[in-house]
Chain A
Amino acid sequence: MSRSERTVAFVSAVTLLCSTLEFLIPKPLPFLRLGLANLPLLIILDTIGLRSYLAILLLKAIGQGMVSGTLFSYLILVSLSGTLASGLAMYGAKRLLASRVSLVGISLIGAFVSNLSQIAVAAAVVYGSAIWIAAPLMLALGLATSLVLGILAEHYRRTSTFAPLLTDPTFTLSQINTERRQGQSVATIAVMVTIAAIITADGLASLVAIVVVLYAMQKACNRKIRLAPALALLLSLLLLSLAEPNGRVLLALGHLAVTETALTNALLKALRLIALLSASQALVGTNPPLRGKAGSILVLTLAYFGRLTHAFGNTTGTIVSRIDQALLATAGEREGEQAVIGTTRPVHTPIVVVLATVVVAVAAVSRLW
């Protein structure tokens, strides 16, 4: 693997570490995000070529999808659009303004463009135009958090011992020998068929049944089940359905009313998306094959990410020095050590196949009814 490819994989892995850290920081509001994963992008902005930069953006979005398990769901569209649009905006702004702007200004632009494009895609794919109600609040919060993040990035760039190393020609990143876990191709195909069935299924009862089966399938693929994202999706869709009434009024409170068709549509959409999220988790759990040059860079990214998370756990001190220590430890790791990528426990293929058959049957019956 060439020097620039290693750098790309390494920086992408650092963005993954940052999004994991972001996940661990307690926040007063659930949708308030710092955008920590933008930090590495800001810091390397000055020193990296456009091609490598674009590759990092893609790897960041795909890697996040693999780690969180949302890679094969609608959510990847939202995060990919946010990452690409804001990444390009930051790159363009930096090239345009060069030394006349600090990372604070770049960070502000990045967060604004990211939020705007994510809202636009979320409106198109999930929520409909009603989600624009949330736009002003999200954008305003984004300005505040990206201001903090920009100051943090500027501070890190000035005090870090690691950041200058990446551009130092005498410094080479360690190469990790990676071994990818054996894929479970039968299970992979079964989950893919399941996804097609979820998309075609109709009716509340059958979608409820499918969601239950999908959680079992996710479990059979060794992915942890988290109910919070599903509940957040359900609640937000139900809330938004109040804003656009449709059908017979079931319950009215002034201008807000629960209406029959709007309620049914929101429930149908939420259940289908929850099932797809779960299917995406299952699919990631089956270790789908990562082939070719892109695949091997992604595998190296995940290997670096594994090392970074491990190294970060062993550090002490302030957050900047902890990050620096983890980066140095990972970058200078001895060669020849094996990193294993992918889930370690076996997938229960027969169970997955049976559950996939059940979902296909439920979907077929729901269409024929």
Chain B
Amino acid sequence: MAKRHPTLFFDLLIFLLLALAVVLIGMKTYSGGSGYVEVRTHQAVYRYALSNDLEVTVDGPLGPTAIRIAGGKASIIDSSCPTKSCTLQRPIASSGQWIACLPNQVLLTIVGATADTEVDDVAI
């Protein structure tokens, strides 16, 4: 009889809705970690999470190279190399993409980021 459990419908509905919410939050949390950028210089290895915006400088043999992380993308914004061609590279965001400054021996590689947000326009 429905009368025996008059609250069953809403109790169950609340449980199912909240369980659904937990599943959705779980999917959002665990899908596509934003990853990090690995920076290799002639002396050391650095890692920076792509989720936090920041600017840092690392040292190469010619001098400092300035790196910017913004909006989940990494780029070289200044370098002590003669041509500064590395500063003209597009910011990188998805796993496997890289930017190198050969004269100053600085290499940026994206690790562990899944490109789920936008179409990769560099992959051509």
Contacts and interface: CB of A to CB of B under 8 A. Distances in A.
A105 B26 CA distance: 22
Contacts of B9: 100
Contact of B18 (A112, A252, A257): A112
A139 B112 CA distance: 26
A101 B26 CA distance: 27
Interface stretch (B40-48, B71-79, B86-94, B98-106): B40-48
Contacts of A243: 49
Contacts of B48: 245-247
18 contacts: A99-B6, A99-B7, A100-B6, A101-B7, A104-B7, A105-B10, A108-B14, A112-B21, A129-B51, A135-B26, A136-B25, A143-B22, A147-B15, A244-B36, A245-B49, A246-B47, A247-B47, A259-B46
Interface string B38-75: 00000011111101101010000000000000000000
5 nearest A-B pairs in the assembled complex, by CB-CB distance: A136-B26, A245-B47, A244-B49, A102-B7, A105-B11
B117 interface: no
Given A246-B47, A259-B46, A100 B10 contact: yes
B5 to A, nearest CB: 9
A255 B46 CA distance: 12
Contacts of A147: 15
B52 to A, nearest CB: 6
Interface string A107-145: 011001000000000000000010011011001100100
A362 B45 CA distance: 35
Contacts of A102: 7, 11
A101 B11 contact: yes
B115 interface: no
Nearest to A249: B45
- Size class of the A contact interface (CB-based, 8 Å): 20 to 34
Contacts of A143: 15, 18-19, 22
Contacts of B6: 99-100
Contact of A101 (B14, B45, B52): B14
Interface residues of B, number: 29
Contacts, number: 83
A365 interface: no
Contact of B15 (A108, A245, A249): A108
Contacts of B47: 245-247, 249, 252, 257, 259
B83 interface: no
B42 to A, nearest CB: 13
A248 interface: yes
A47 to B, nearest CB: 18
A186 interface: no
Nearest to B40: A249
A143 B46 CA distance: 41
Contacts of B36: 244-245
A361 interface: no
Nearest to B8: A102
A71 B79 CA distance: 50
A97 interface: yes
Interface string A241-264: 001111111001001010100000
Contact of B7 (A105, A244, A252): A105
A108 to B, nearest CB: 5
B70 to A, nearest CB: 15
A244 B52 contact: yes
Which of B21, B25, B36, B47 has the most chain A CB atoms closer than 10 A to its own CB?
B47
Contact of B112 (A104, A133, A255): A255
Contacts of A100: 6-7, 9-10
B22 A248 contact: no
Contacts of B56: 247
Nearest to B22: A139
A224 to B, nearest CB: 37
Nearest to A154: B7
B28 to A, nearest CB: 9
A108 B18 contact: yes
A262 to B, nearest CB: 8
Nearest to B38: A249
A93 B44 CA distance: 57
Given A132-B29, A245-B47, A246-B52, A109 B7 contact: no
